[in-house]
Amino acid sequence: MSDTSRRELLQAIALSFTAGGWSLEAAQHVHKMAAQEKALGPYKPKAFTVHEYKTLEKLAGLIVPPDEKSPGAVASGSCEFIDLLASQNPELAAIYTGGIAWLDRTMLSRYSTDFVGAKPDQQTALLDLIAYRKNESPELGPGIHFFAWARRMVVDAYYTSPAGIQDVGYMGNTAVSKFEIPQAVIDYALKRSPV
Amino acid sequence: MFQITPRSQVYDVVVIGSGAGGGTVTKVLADLGVNVALLEAGPMIDPAKDFKEHMWPYQVPHRGIGDGGAGYFGRNPFPFGYFSTASGGWQLKGEPYTVAPGNKFEWFRSRVVGGRTNHFGRIALRFADYDFAPYSQDGLGADWPITYDELAPFYDKAESFIGVTGSKEGIRSAPDGIFQECPPPRVHEMLVQRATKKLNIPCIASRLAIITKATNGRPACHYCAQCGRGCVTASNYSSSQVQVFPAMKTGRVKLFTNAMARELVTDGSGKVTAVAYVDKATRTEKQIRCRSVVVACGACESARLLLNSKSASHPNGIANGSGHVGRNMTDSVGYSLGAHIPALDGLPRHNSDGMGGMHVYIPWWLWDAKQKEFPRGYHVEIGGGFHMPGIGSFAAECREHEGYGKGLKDAIYNRYGANVSFSGRGEQIPNEHTFCEIDPDVVDQYGIPVLRFHFQWTDHELRQARHMHETFQSILETLGGTVTKPKADFMAGEGISTGGQIIHELGTVRMGNDPSTSVLNKYCQAHEVKNLFVADAAPFVSNPDKNPTLTIIANAWRTAEYLAEEMRKGNV
């Protein structure tokens, strides 16, 4: 949504306020309009080679896979987010290009294939090692360090996308005339609380 | 709306700074028929354009972390996040400040109409009666030249006008005021209230400068929790929307933006006749003539302006015969602690946004304790609930759960909204090692000498921060949480906030009855210069455990009425 149209909408609600009426509909309209996603065309990576980008997509798909509730990280733009920021920051780009090269080399020495070409159980076997700090070793250190970056940024991108926000169940950023907590929610917490 | 005025025009009053103090003075004077020129060092603000209220993170390609992922590298150019409306920051390009060797201090400045009130936490607490006589109680610091009863009518006016939530409680440390209804507590806040009840600690409805019913043409809060982004509907208090814009509609206020005050110009008698300022747009020096001046640049900036206003009659800076300008500076003591509360795991989803800020808070409760580990006290702010996901919202789950795939997703879902945190804000006692002065070697890009800060906590504050930790830990454990953060070595200076970080710096142009130990009289009028007033938090004699904004507004209101009356009588 462009700045201009957002501005017009905000001015419209500002006007409806000064006219004396508190217009819930107007405010909700703004929120709805604001929620419209930009349609994305086929994506050409800016910072990464096609191979690197495919590897990133594979990783993102493993970190937040699609499931019955959501299309997952790849369909929600996580890789575009990382590619965009990396294209603006050589330091960040190097973390990914270096990390992906490490993944490929490690897969090559273990399974004679690069990461994207490996079988799913080979990919997860490596991730099961580098996804945990407890496996820290001179051999795995670079992979653990890189995976922490990838996980953090994929999670950030996914949960700030419309699909991720819906998935985690955030129900706010809307205009309401009265603030209330449903009784069932209160009961849930009180039943579980030691106080 | 505005008159074109020749340069030679003499304004009744020039107000310097458009934050809580300057905004209040401008509005009160304009309503009393006084012609005001309002100088603001930053640009105009346009809420419809400048506020990012209601934006989703995905509406900006970097999602809020900054271009190139700057925030991941600790270089986020947005001090409180991209979506906050805070204009300015801990450093301003071309406008440095320095910190004396061996000291630590951070100074947050907003250069924009409304200043820091556009983004502040909206907490609006009255000082207690005993806060005005701290020296009489414990022999530390100094007493105020005014009492609670003298300020109370102006607290009433301020609360009635800006709108403040709250409930009548009859607690001496948290005087009741004129309150609008506070919305009910969130789930985690209900649990906190049960825990504090068990621990004999009060936890009451929040006092926030947010309106929950239409007030003076401003619609009620719509509970989106985004006060920090600025409120397009002006349902919270900001001096820009609530005071400056309405005051301009009277036709008696001329606003000068991008006008950086450099010096107060005096005549042979030592009275202020004009304000010299740098017009940032043209980088030229201009003067604006006045009968009186009200300085409200923010406490340290106000001290800087006075210290930089040197003349034959004011060799140490204007109104500074006492040498106290820049002295007696304090900030609030800050410490925060949070924990995961298992009772909240998997909490059924609902909209917990509410007001921007907590719906309940803990006022200081040990004010009458016989034996205390430290003088004075603190209040406690409470964090928790489901917040709009943003960059870093689930960093803790990534770090603690690790892994990937379904296990990680489930952990995030389960833990979302299950953290509770506490932030203490307490009183620092003025000490001789904490002050600001002009750095003799450094000027800003306009050639104006800059401030050099000295800041030291003493054992009073370090013990207080330690007490905060113990309190927060006991509440968190009562809630069933486990504190994983190791206890800092508080007495070695660990854990406590850095000076300036809480952005409650004040006291640098203090008022008092004795001109040898204070700069201003009880009406915030300079002892030495009858037509010079200060109306931000610089006049404060102490920095009680209540955020300063409401008291800035009340005291500025009182100062403005006094000034208008003195002008009517021909005394200034």
The residue-averaged pLDDT of B95-101 equals 98
Of B88, B69, B176, nearest to B129 (Cα)? B176
Cβ neighbour number for residue B473 with a 10 Å cutoff: 18
Q: Of chain B residues 410-449, which have a CB less than 8 A from chain A?
A: 412-413, 416
Give contacts of B185 with chain A, Cβ < 8 Å.
181
The string of pLDDT tens digits covering residues A109-129 is 999 999 999 999 999 999 999
Instruction: Please indicate if any CB of chain B lies within 8 Å of the CB of A27.
Output: yes
Give contacts of B342 with chain A, Cβ < 8 Å.
192
CA distance A57 to chain B (A): 14
Instruction: Return all residues near B370 (Cβ < 8 A) that are at least 6 apart.
Output: none
Cβ neighbour number for residue B5 with a 10 Å cutoff: 13
pLDDT of residue A43: 87
Complex ipTM value: 0.93
Instruction: Please indicate if any CB of chain B lies within 8 Å of the CB of A135.
Output: no
pLDDT averaged over chain A?
86
* Residue B240: DSSP 8-state: I
The verdict on a CB contact (< 8 Å) between A195 and B191 is: yes
**Band of pLDDT at residue B371, cut at 50, 70 and 90:** confident
Q: Of chain B residues 210-249, which have a CB less than 8 A from chain A?
A: 214, 217-220, 222-226, 232-233
The beta strand positions in B164-316, using DSSP E, are 204-205, 253-256, 259-266, 272-279, 284-295
Instruction: Please indicate if any CB of chain B lies within 8 Å of the CB of A58.
Output: no
The verdict on a CB contact (< 8 Å) between A176 and B395 is: no
Q: Of chain B residues 327-356, which have a CB less than 8 A from chain A?
A: 342-345, 347-355
The string of pLDDT tens digits covering residues B397-422 is 999 999 999 999 999 999 999 999 99
Comparing A133-147, B3-17, B303-317, the range with the smallest average pLDDT is: B3-17
The verdict on a CB contact (< 8 Å) between A22 and B388 is: no
Is the Cβ–Cβ distance between B349 and A169 less than 8 Å?
Answer: yes
Give contacts of B198 with chain A, Cβ < 8 Å.
195
pLDDT of residue A4: 42
Instruction: Please indicate if any CB of chain B lies within 8 Å of the CB of A40.
Output: no
The verdict on a CB contact (< 8 Å) between A77 and B58 is: yes
Q: Say how far apart CA B15 and CA B201 lie, in whole Å.
A: 43
The residue-averaged pLDDT of B501-520 equals 98
Q: Tokens for A142?
A: 């670079």
Say if strands B378-383 and B419-426 run parallel, antiparallel, or are unpaired: antiparallel
The verdict on a CB contact (< 8 Å) between A194 and B70 is: no
Comparing A25-29, B14-18, B329-333, the range with the smallest average pLDDT is: A25-29
Quick check: B512 pLDDT over 80? yes
The verdict on a CB contact (< 8 Å) between A81 and B63 is: yes
The verdict on a CB contact (< 8 Å) between A1 and B394 is: no
Quick check: A134 pLDDT over 50? yes
**Band of pLDDT at residue B87, cut at 50, 70 and 90:** confident
Instruction: Please indicate if any CB of chain A lies within 8 Å of the CB of B65.
Output: yes
pLDDT of residue B372: 87
Q: Which residue of B has its CA nearest to A31?
A: B54
Quick check: A36 pLDDT over 50? no
* Residues of chain B above pLDDT 90, percent: 96
The verdict on a CB contact (< 8 Å) between A34 and B54 is: yes
Cβ neighbour number for residue B291 with a 10 Å cutoff: 17
CA distance A3 to chain B (A): 8
The string of pLDDT tens digits covering residues B447-506 is 999 999 999 999 999 999 999 999 999 999 999 999 999 999 999 999 999 999 999 999
Q: Which residue of B has its CA nearest to A84?
A: B68
The verdict on a CB contact (< 8 Å) between A170 and B388 is: yes
Instruction: Please indicate if any CB of chain B lies within 8 Å of the CB of A161.
Output: yes
**In chain A, where does DSSP find H-type helix?**
3-18, 24-35, 50-63, 72-75, 78-88, 90-111, 120-130, 141-159, 162-168, 183-192
B216: left (phi over 0), alpha (psi -120 to 50) or beta: left
Model confidence, pTM: 0.93
Q: Which residue of A has its CA nearest to B54?
A: A173
pLDDT of residue A41: 58
Quick check: B3 pLDDT over 60? no
Instruction: Please indicate if any CB of chain B lies within 8 Å of the CB of A121.
Output: no
Q: How many CB pairs under 8 A join A and B?
A: 223
Q: Of chain B residues 101-130, which have a CB less than 8 A from chain A?
A: none
Instruction: Please indicate if any CB of chain B lies within 8 Å of the CB of A144.
Output: no
